[in-house]
Structure formats: C-alpha cells, structure tokens
Amino acid sequence: MVASFSSQSNDVDLAAPGRHIRVAEPVVDDPTGYIFASGTSFSAPMVSAASAWVWTERPELDNTQLFDVMRFSAHDMDAPGFDRATGFGMLNIPSALAFPTPPRDPLEPNDDIDQVSAQGIFDGGQPAVVTASRRSSTITARVDRHEDPHAVYRAFLPARGSLTARTSGGAVDLRIFPSGARDIGTKAAAVSKKAGLAPESAMIRNTTRRGVYVYVEVRPDASTVRASYTLRITSSARR
C-alpha cells in the first residue's frame, strides 16, 4: 500500500518502506536513543544503500546497468507494470543481486542537446560520435519512455556534405536537429518516416561552406515503452 505522504510522478523509480521505521534519535529527546518515524526521507536512503550494496557485489556494472538492475528487479506492486505511485515496484535486494546483466547505455547523460553540445551545461559536452576525421560511428544503446525517453548524439556534418542516421533492432523514431538548436523542442531539420521495427532513416544536408555539428535524437516510437537499438551515423563530404 502506498503511503499517503508518498510522492507520485513519472520520476518515481522504486518504492521502499517509509512508514513506522525505527530510527536513531538524540537521547535528549528520547532516552532509548530510538523512535519510530515515517516519511520518504527513510525510503530514499534504503534505495541508495541497497544500490551501493549491489554495486559492491557486482562492480563490473556501469552506472546505467546498475540503474536498470535496481529498477527491473523490483517486485511489481500497485498497478501492473510501471506506475506513478511505485515506479517499477518495491526494492528487492536478492532479486537485484541475481538479476541478469543488462546491456550498457553509453554516453549518458544525453537526454537533450544541452547535455551533449560543446556549449552546453557540461564542460566540453559529450564527445562527438562522428567527427571531421571519423566519418561513421555505430552505437548500441536503449531508450525508455519513463526513465530515458531521449538519446541525443553530436555528429559532424561536413561543408557541402550530408549526414545519414539509420537505426535497426528497435521500435524507435529518429530526428536530426540543426547546428543552432539549443534543445529538442527546436523544430527538427529531418525526421524518420517509417515506424515499428523496420529500419529508421533520416538525412540532413549542409549547403554552407563550413562544417557544423548537428544532433541526432533517438526516442521510442508512439507504441513503445522500452527499446534497444543500433544506430549508425555516416557523413559524406562533397567531391
């Protein structure tokens, strides 16, 4: 049962006990040194400590794998599947310790252009996956409508050249944003046309005399909650 004081939103990952928890208390307030208290302030440390425990036992996991292990190993409760009250379910440490290793999700955080741009919120941004000297790149990653709904990659578009992005293996959509875009709320310069498991493709041309960086976004299609995909980005210069 979800406590009345519990937060509910699409940002909830896990549920953990938070009602009638025995906690330390200064002896000036209670001579036993302990009281029973309730609140999400006690739930959150349980999840943090459990995650640290699992990562200590499974140090080969990267941070994105750890997050998925903790979420996907949870005991489902309340409404079936993900819900705003309990997220993916109740924290389950034994299940997390034994949960199969999920694939990595590289270059996180990359939820928006300002997280990957060289002029964004992080010093230098994320490394470009396609550069002036490296004309193609292949990335295997995943997106999740609730936890990681966008994956954005910075790629170099040569002067008078073109850049093509293609995905396979997952039900996702593609968009390519121009060099001046500040976030994915900007109008896209190119959008993939096909839907479902068929390969997605989007292409952008550069009509100027200088190379620029553009931004390729992958997101779940309208009917998909979670998808793994392979993205290949290729640029070509005018000859």
The CA angle 109-110-112, to the nearest 5 degrees, is: 125
Q: What is the pLDDT of residue 128?
A: 97
Q: What is the pLDDT of residue 79?
A: 77
**Rounded distance between C-alpha atoms, residue 86 and residue 73, angstroms:** 13
Q: Is the pLDDT of residue 228 over 70?
A: yes
The one-letter amino acid at 183: D
**Rounded distance between C-alpha atoms, residue 71 and residue 94, angstroms:** 13
Q: What is the pLDDT of residue 174?
A: 96
Q: Is the pLDDT of residue 170 over 90?
A: no
Q: What is the pLDDT of residue 69?
A: 97
Q: What percent of the chain has pLDDT over 90?
A: 77
Local confidence band at 194 (pLDDT 50, 70, 90 cut-offs): low
Q: What percent of the chain has pLDDT over 70?
A: 97
- What's the pLDDT tens digit per position in 32-51? 999 999 988 889 999 999 99
Between 124-138, 165-179, 185-199, the lowest mean confidence (pLDDT) is in 185-199
Q: Is the pLDDT of residue 210 over 90?
A: yes
Domain ranges of the chain: 21-98, 113-236
Per-chain mean pLDDT for the chain: 92
- What's the pLDDT tens digit per position in 134-151? 999 999 999 998 889 999
Q: What is the pLDDT of residue 7?
A: 81
Local confidence band at 5 (pLDDT 50, 70, 90 cut-offs): confident
Q: What is the pLDDT of residue 195?
A: 53
- What's the pLDDT tens digit per position in 35-92? 999 988 889 999 999 999 999 999 999 999 999 999 999 999 877 888 888 999 999 9
DSSP sequence for the chain = ---TT---STT---B---SSEEEE--TTT-TTSEEEE-SHHHHHHHHHHHHHHHHHH-TT--HHHHHHHHHHTSB--SSSSSBTTTBT-B--HHHHHHSPPPPP-TT-S-SSHHHHSTTSSSTT-SPPSB-SS--EEEEEEEEETTTB--EEEEEEE-TT-EEEEEEESS-EEEEEE-TT--STTSPPSEE----TTSPEEEEEE--SSS-EEEEEEEEE-TT-SEEEEEEEEEEE---
CATH architecture of 113-236: Sandwich (2.60)
- What's the pLDDT tens digit per position in 149-166? 999 999 999 999 999 999
Q: Is the pLDDT of residue 13 over 80?
A: yes
